[in-house]
Amino acid sequence: MFTLLITCFFAAVLAPWVHRRVPKYAGALLALVPAAVFAWLIRQLPMVAHGHSVEQSFQWVEGLGLEFALRLDGLGLLFALLISGIGTLIIFYTQGYFKGHPQQGRFLMYTIAFMASMLGVVLANHLLVLFIFWELTSFTSYLLIGFNHEDEAARSAALQAMLVTVLGGLFLLAGMILMAQATGTWKLSEIVQRGAELQAHPHYLPILILICIGAFTKSAQFPFHFWLPNAMHAPTPASAYLHSSTMVKAGIYLLARLHPALGGTGEWGAILTTIGVATFLIGALMAIGQSVLKRLLAYSTVSALGAMVMLLGIGTSGAIQAMAAFVLAHALYKATLFMVAGGITHETGETSVDRLGGLRKAMPFSFTCAMLAGLSMGGVMPFFGFVAKEVWLHALGDYPLLLLATVAVGATYVLVGITVGWKPFAGQRPDGLHAHAVPISMRIGPLVLGLGSLFLAFFAGWIGHAIVEPAAAAIAAKDLEVHLHLWAGFNKYLLMGIGTVAIGLALYRTRPVLLKTGARLAGFARFGPDAAYRLILSSVLKFAAWQTRLLQTGTLRHYIRYAVLTTTALVAAAFIRAGGFQGLENLSPISTRIALVAVLMIAAAIFTVHSNSRLRSILSMGLVGYGMAMLFTFFGAPDLAMTQLVIETLTVILLALAFSHLPPFRHGSSMRTRGTDLAIAVGGGVVVMLLVLAALDVQTPTAVSDYYLEHSYKYAHGRNVVNVILVDFRALDTLGEITVLTIAALGASALLKLRQGKQEDKS
Amino acid sequence: MTSLILRTATRYMFPPLLVFSVYLLLRGHHYPGGGFVGGLFAGSAFTLYALAFNVESARKLLRFDPRDITAVGLAVALASGIPALFSGYAFMTGTWWKVPIRPGVVIDVGSPLIFDIGVYLVVLGVLLTLVFSLGEEE
């Protein structure tokens, strides 16, 4: 499994190169990688279907107890099959969609990198490994949504999706850490066995809420659903892959995975069912008013994701079976519809379903696939969507209200299915709408998945046993038998299904009215979560701008003022907390030579401030520095003294060089500012002096200097302890310092160059 | 700043200053000195030259772009940490070799010395980057 993941990431890195070498067949070649993964997964199918799992792990960071653990069980297999199977078709589809596009290689790279990350999510058996891959999917999704980076709307949608999912990711991380502490293990396979222990833990509710926020943001649950429709700015292959069939199901996967550990309680049921039903209904309601193909599909995806959360929340074995079956059915038909929609837009340049029509002659292939998928989505016999819906209605048998909601939402699915599957192809073609069939590479994907929706229904019993049953067993953490039937007999659920289709057809008839109502209600978006997101984002930016204006004035005096005032305040606060300053004892007497130097320095400092010539100021400041060097020699620090001397000389030279570029010297500040500055300077000086005096009294338990003195020659072969510390004991610090020095020099040199450039522009 | 006295004095002072800077660098391990102050001395020598003549000729004398010197210095300092990895120690652990100079005389050469040479070069490069770009701006 590890090899497979590495291969996928490697393929992602190689993708641009492959595209450069064989631009025409890059998609087909690269699709071999996910195809190989798919084949490997199929080979594991019999073993996993018997309840065994494939495990692999090795130590990653031993010191942190981080283990790179992977595990393939029924649930992981279901998702991994979808990811690699649809991935193969999507990558192949990309070849036609981006035909001749110079950036196709980049797109392929992102897509394959995403696929690898997503496989990592569903195969991970260690919470932190899962989290890393989870964040990687958010990141690759950001790159894919913002693929058309010259489009501002795409950029902002990418940022929105990223901020929402990554913020959720932080909640998730917090939840994972709490969960690992509560159970004492990071391994998922062990956590799911400690459900009882976890549910009795006092942190159970916080863990549940944190994990739910992480999963809900990722899977576009209300009130975080708004990023998904906006994410439709991504190129269609990405929308079909990430934002309908795989990535948005990561949250569902996580909830399903943790169901044995966290599920089955009242809180679990309440949170998941409430949010799930809300999303389920809102997504469907929003879908009705949409006419842009991809947004229509996106809202129906939001609704479908809500349904999955709802079914998980109910948590009976029937609901879990229904959820697993629905994940499969939904991925098949939704990816097909997206690919068809992409094909239509690709060939006609039109995105709104209301301006499309009569394409059945020009695009017969797309028409067939769209009908197959649309009928499956509507839950019509004999498609897999029907099979899934049947199980689903069965599972909701005891919940009349949910049953009612399902019928209502099911009707809108019928509406969406017809609108995308039938509407663009039927009737008269509007004038000026040019269309021709999509290339072969764009036919295979939708055709395979569309026919899949049909064929899987006929093998429903086998699919149920081989794929849905192991997945459902992993979610429920107990053995259960899944029997899917194409024909379950004539009962009330069949009648409900038929009723749903009838209502859907009626809705389609009244679609113009619905669209008008939808347009009238669009104003309410001002109060929606999308608007809230924008408000928060702009507030944060405004706050950032405000505090930057306040603190980063560009005036040197202000920066120094802030630095000195902060230091003074913090040190003074520390003194007050420690109970005031104490102890002026044990001070050695001041010798005459030190007093002389000190007086000289003080005089030079006063002269620096009062001089009315810039050169004199610099020179007298140099004098202060030289006095300091002299003090260093008195106290036996020749290294410091020597460095101080050279530095002081160079500072004077540098200042002299810099000052020759400045305007004439004058005291521009008023008496009042100078008074304030004096107060700040005196305050800073006094506090630092007190600090130095207080430091004399501090007795550290073991002086670190003793260690250095003792070991300097023994281990580091050096007698100059100062130098040995710099280049040996603390060499890494020095390395950091010289790096900072280099960056500062580069920055300064760039700034000076910039000014030169400006002057040249002017002249 | 084109005093004849300064120019003449600089001609005589420049070589000893450079030699002294290397001397400081090498003796640093046992006595006052080291890469930092050595680099500063070497930088001052070139600064003095730039003041006495002009930045252009100082640049010519240096032959390399000071930014390149900085980069090389950083690379040398980084590289000095690598030998320790081969002996299984942590990055930057001091490693010492016995280098025979001539029969009977063997001196200890350690990775800290290489590191110090890197520091020397970085300080020299940074200082001259600043001095040259400020001095050239006229």
Structure tokens at A533: 């997101």
Indicate the residue type of A200: A
- Asked if B134 is an interface residue toward chain A (Cβ–Cβ < 8 A), one would say yes
Task: Tell me what pLDDT residue B138 has.
Answer: 52
Smallest CA–CA distance from A750 into chain B, residue = B133
pLDDT, averaged across chain A: 85
**In chain B, residues 46-75 whose CB comes closer than 8 Å to chain A:** 47, 51, 67, 70-71, 73-74
Q: Are the CB atoms for B32 and B116 separated by under 8 Å?
A: no
d(CA B84, CA B111): 9
Q: Do B129 and A646 touch (CB under 8 A)?
A: no
Q: How far does CA A549 lie from the centroid of its chain?
A: 30
Query: What is the span of the domain harbouring residue B115?
Result: 4-136
List all residues 6 or more positions away from A588 whose beta carbon is below 8 Å from its beta carbon.
Answer: none
Which pLDDT tens digit goes with each residue over A631-669? Answer: 999 888 888 888 899 889 888 888 888 777 777 766 667
pLDDT band at A64 (very low <50, low <70, confident <90, very high): confident
Task: Tell me what pLDDT residue A582 has.
Answer: 66
Q: Is the pLDDT of residue A712 over 80?
A: no
Model's pTM, two decimal places? Answer: 0.75
Structural domains in chain A, sorted by start: 266-509 (no CATH), 557-698 (1.20.120)
Judging contacts by C-beta atoms under 8 Å, the chain A residues touching residue B74 are: 738-739, 742
Which pLDDT tens digit goes with each residue over A383-404? Answer: 888 888 888 888 887 888 888 8
Smallest CA–CA distance from A662 into chain B, residue = B138
Give the minimum alpha-carbon distance from B128 to chain A in angstroms, rounded to a whole number. Answer: 9
Which pLDDT tens digit goes with each residue over A277-290? Answer: 999 988 888 888 78
Q: Is A170 helix (H, G, I), strand (E, B) or coil?
A: helix
Looking at the 3D structure of chain B, how many domains does it have?
Answer: 1
Which pLDDT tens digit goes with each residue over A603-617? Answer: 999 998 888 788 888
Single out the residue of A112, A133, A117, A108 nearest to residue A33, CA to CA. Answer: A112
Task: Tell me what pLDDT residue A137 has.
Answer: 92
β-sheet bridge partners, residue A67 = A59
d(CA A77, CA A203): 31
Give the minimum alpha-carbon distance from B29 to chain A in angstroms, rounded to a whole number. Answer: 5
Task: Tell me what pLDDT residue A751 has.
Answer: 84
Q: Do B137 and A752 touch (CB under 8 A)?
A: yes
pLDDT band at A763 (very low <50, low <70, confident <90, very high): very low
Which stretch of A87-96, A152-161, A652-661 has the lowest confidence by average pLDDT? Answer: A652-661
Q: Is A474 helix (H, G, I), strand (E, B) or coil?
A: helix
Give the minimum alpha-carbon distance from B109 to chain A in angstroms, rounded to a whole number. Answer: 10
Smallest CA–CA distance from A752 into chain B, residue = B133
Smallest CA–CA distance from A717 into chain B, residue = B29
- Asked if B109 is an interface residue toward chain A (Cβ–Cβ < 8 A), one would say no
- Asked if B94 is an interface residue toward chain A (Cβ–Cβ < 8 A), one would say yes
Task: Report cis status (omega within 30 of 0) of the bond before A382.
Answer: yes
d(CA A575, CA A564): 16
Structure tokens at A545: 């701008």
Task: Tell me what pLDDT residue A757 has.
Answer: 61
Q: Do A654 and B134 touch (CB under 8 A)?
A: yes
Q: Do B130 and A748 touch (CB under 8 A)?
A: yes
d(CA A579, CA A196): 51
d(CA B15, CA B52): 15
Average pLDDT over residues A75-97: 90
Q: Is A57 helix (H, G, I), strand (E, B) or coil?
A: strand
Q: Are the CB atoms for A44 and A4 separated by under 8 Å?
A: no
Q: Is the pLDDT of residue A128 over 80?
A: yes
Count of pairs with CB atoms under 8 A, one residue in A, one in B: 138
- Asked if B112 is an interface residue toward chain A (Cβ–Cβ < 8 A), one would say yes
pLDDT band at A762 (very low <50, low <70, confident <90, very high): very low
Q: Is the pLDDT of residue A196 over 80?
A: yes
Per the listing, tokens 């000289």 go with A600
Give the minimum alpha-carbon distance from B73 to chain A in angstroms, rounded to a whole number. Answer: 9
Judging contacts by C-beta atoms under 8 Å, the chain B residues touching residue A722 are: 34
Give the minimum alpha-carbon distance from B115 to chain A in angstroms, rounded to a whole number. Answer: 7
Which pLDDT tens digit goes with each residue over A564-584? Answer: 999 999 988 988 887 776 666
d(CA B34, CA B55): 27
Tens-of-pLDDT digits for all 138 residues of chain B?
A: 568 888 999 999 999 999 999 999 988 888 888 888 999 999 999 999 998 888 889 999 999 999 999 999 999 999 888 888 887 777 777 778 777 878 877 777 888 888 999 999 999 999 999 888 888 755
Judging contacts by C-beta atoms under 8 Å, the chain B residues touching residue A657 are: 131, 134-135
Q: Is the pLDDT of residue A760 over 60?
A: no
Which pLDDT tens digit goes with each residue over A664-683? Answer: 766 667 788 888 888 999 99
Task: Tell me what pLDDT residue B1 has.
Answer: 52
pLDDT band at A742 (very low <50, low <70, confident <90, very high): very high
Average pLDDT over residues A201-212: 91
d(CA A407, CA A747): 65
